Amino acid sequence: MKKIGISLIILILLAFAGTFYLEVWLAKKIPEIINTNPDRNYDLLFEDVEINLLQKGVELQTIVLVPLNDSLATKMNGSLRSILMGNVNFMALIFNSKLEIGEIKLIEPAFRLIQSDRKSSANESSQAFQELFQDLISRGEIRNFILEKGTAEMFIDKDSLYRFGQFTDLNIIAHGIETDSVIATYAIPFKLKSIVTSLKNLKIITDYNQEFRVEEASFNSSAQTADFKGISLKYDNQISGARAEADFQKDLIQFEIKEFGLSQIDAESTIYGNWSIFAGLASIDSLVLEDLRDKNKPRPEEPEKPLFEGMVENIPFPIKLDSVKISNSTISYKEIPMGKASPIVLNFQEINGFITNLISTDSLQKDGLMKVDVSSNLNGYAPVSMSIDIPYGTNSFELDASMGGFDMVELNEIFEPLGKFKVESGTLRGLKLHMTANEKGSSNQVNFDYENLKLEVLNSDGSKKGKNGILSTVANLMTSKENLPENKNYKISRHWTNRNPYRAPFNLIWISTKDGLMAIVPSGLGNIFISDNKK
């Protein structure tokens, strides 16, 4: 019995010693295997390795990511607190020098992305992260990948490092990875069963002194959803400061969106790298967009502006959305007239509606039709609705728009900054516009129903302020006081409007409406508009 006990103790000691020396050997072997792929772009250097044979676990501690390929236009370095490997096949590691890992977990990685060219696009930055994860996972057969609490800073290397972006709280959970099947769709560019990603506090500084932000973003492949909260694009010194600094006349645009969501995302979509979005529904909640144009600035040489179909085709990556839902949104257009300092403001509030069959790629459009149906409220007093049919492949559109009744005195906040006239009294019963438009112009019908219209022409020579009595009397004598369907002399304008190819289709909509108003309301009001249009 004593010999058996001694033998058992020796066996136990030998087992402990063997386990110890095997773990020491593995601690030296693993770094060699991790950094053995000749095609790798990065080395993983770490201070310590802990092996747990019984729990089939490996932990790498205090890791530094070192780029090897200086020719990459976008490369990364960084550090990680630790990498945890679970359910490791130590037999494959010992006898075949092969990493077979059930799960790998990156804890608190801090990445530094460095671009050599500022012109690199945002999708190239996301592709750089995708290529890094591919580089790391390709070093073995890894079934599940987890990344927790990642952060990143993005720089441009031009004489010195300039930080143009960052994000925090990057989390990735990818299950069922097939490392022998590369598919550039998700952050982990392999065929897999499911992936969930999220990040916070994304900030990107654009070429136009604007900062793009996303407070939170998440994607779930199983649920086929993506959600983005707190999106904004704003000028560093506000839109008024950007106007003051601009050398030429252009539309200065900034916006914020409370929430943007995608659902029923198709498997053909690519969320990383070369983006493409195919989904059943996109939802835009609480968009607030501001557009400012200063007509006192000189106009540069501009390319011709496309119609609605061309605007969609100019989206820089493929999009196919069955439906886009817009809710609780506001679009504010501000234009500073020539010779004036204060802007005319058009606030389209409470915008709600749908865009159906939004497709940016010719091959997917076929003979389809994009349709826009929205309702809103102009400056808080005028209900507005609009329906646009845009047949693909025709470079044309058909539009029906209407405006509900209101006291026309409300329009003075638009007319008075022009310094020409204001409405003394009048009631709008309704305004309707029908357009059939192409790249040359539009065939229009305008119904403008109003009553009790009386104008007050303002002094414009600068010597006097206020009403010009003589011109006001003449204008009112020459202006129709009312235009109602029940009257015998009821007027409907049917007219053609030439398109300015250097302005967006919204300009054609406005000019077509204005031409109709001038035809229905004779010379008094019409001449005032005409003189402004010639400028």
Q: Stretch 501-526: mean pLDDT, rounded?
A: 79
Assess contact for 503 and 462: CB atoms under 8 A: no
Q: What was the pLDDT predicted at 36?
A: 83
Q: CB atoms < 10 A from the CB of 370, how many?
A: 21
Q: Stretch 180-192: mean pLDDT, rounded?
A: 79
Q: CB atoms < 10 A from the CB of 16, how many?
A: 10
In angstroms, the CA 138 to CA 375 distance is: 52
pLDDT surpassing 50 at residue 198 = yes
In angstroms, the CA 449 to CA 428 distance is: 6
Q: What was the pLDDT predicted at 481?
A: 85
Q: Is 489 exposed, middle or buried (0-12, 13-18, 19+ CB in 10 A)?
A: exposed
In angstroms, the CA 150 to CA 148 distance is: 6
Q: What was the pLDDT predicted at 10?
A: 52
Q: pLDDT tens digits, residue range 150-182?
A: 999 999 887 788 888 999 999 999 999 988 777
Assess contact for 183 and 201: CB atoms under 8 A: no
Q: Is 292 exposed, middle or buried (0-12, 13-18, 19+ CB in 10 A)?
A: buried
Q: pLDDT tens digits, residue range 6-18?
A: 555 555 544 444 4
The encoded tokens of residue 522 equal 């004779």
| Distance (Å) of CA 316 to CA 130, 227, 276, 322 | 20, 21, 9, 19
222 phi and psi angles, rounded to 5 deg = -70, -45
Confidence of residue 149 (pLDDT cuts 50, 70, 90): very high
- Which residue has better confidence, 121 or 146? 146
In angstroms, the CA 84 to CA 231 distance is: 34
Q: What is the pTM of this model?
A: 0.85
Radius of gyration of the chain (CA): 33
Q: Distance between terminal CA atoms of the chain?
A: 113
Q: Stretch 201-221: mean pLDDT, rounded?
A: 90
Q: Residue 345's closest CA among 255, 410, 430, 250?
A: 410
In angstroms, the CA 11 to CA 174 distance is: 42
Q: What was the pLDDT predicted at 287?
A: 96
Q: Residue 320's closest CA among 281, 285, 352, 373?
A: 281
The encoded tokens of residue 334 equal 């501000």
Q: Chain-wide mean pLDDT for the chain?
A: 84
pLDDT surpassing 90 at residue 484 = yes
Q: pLDDT tens digits, residue range 361-392?
A: 877 777 789 999 999 999 889 999 999 999 99
Percent of the chain whose predicted confidence (pLDDT) is above 70: 86
pLDDT surpassing 70 at residue 121 = no
Q: pLDDT tens digits, residue range 406-435?
A: 998 888 887 776 666 778 888 999 999 999
Assess contact for 292 and 343: CB atoms under 8 A: yes
Diameter of the chain measured on Cα atoms: 130
Q: What was the pLDDT predicted at 468?
A: 62
Give the DSSP letter of residue 300.
P
Q: Stretch 117-138: mean pLDDT, rounded?
A: 76
The encoded tokens of residue 365 equal 């459009």
The three-state secondary structure class of 91 is helix
